[in-house]
Amino acid sequence: MSERPLWAPWRVEYITGDRSAGCVFCAAVQGKGDDAALVLERGDRCFTMLNAFPYASGHAMVLPYRHVADLLDLEQDEVGELMRLARRCIGALRAVMAPAGFNVGLNLGEAAGAGIAEHLHLHIVPRWAGDTNFMPVLADTHVIPQALEATREALTAELAQLAD
């Protein structure tokens, strides 16, 4: 069998992006509108956004507005809102995408796998039975079947309907 390339041109922005301009999370929230920044929901101290370079459809993150790297640096009200928004995001993902489960977690520090270690972010990754195939294992490639804009539209509509 001959090798065939799988093109994922959207990844080049992440790979070659200019990281000298400061924190991409802070810039995403301050410089763009919510649509462009993929923001799903805003709280008083934290916000939820889609991952622009997702591991799976619906891969979201909850972040404090404050630029902090460590969980121990968060104030108690930030921790509470981080969890409240995570719960709301999971509820919306369940309603919109019907995943069989979730991976939810923090990668604190580069050694722990944080791609952007300087601004804490809680990952919420929906999972389905059999959603892992040979692509991530052999080609370090993830197949995302839905456009980020369509995912954002569905999730923001659902979050608007959810009660706390």
Angle (CA) 17 19 23, round 5°: 120
Structure tokens given for 60:
């979201």
Q: What is the DSSP string of 100-162?
A: SEEEEEE--SGGGT-SSTTS--EEEEEE-TT---HHHHHHS-----S-HHHHHHHHHHHHHH-
Q: Whole-angstrom Cα distance, residue 58 to residue 50?
A: 7
**Of residues 59, 121, 123, 142, which has the active-site annotation?**
121
Is 121 part of the annotated catalytic residue set? yes
Structure tokens given for 134:
């040979």
Catalytic residues: 121
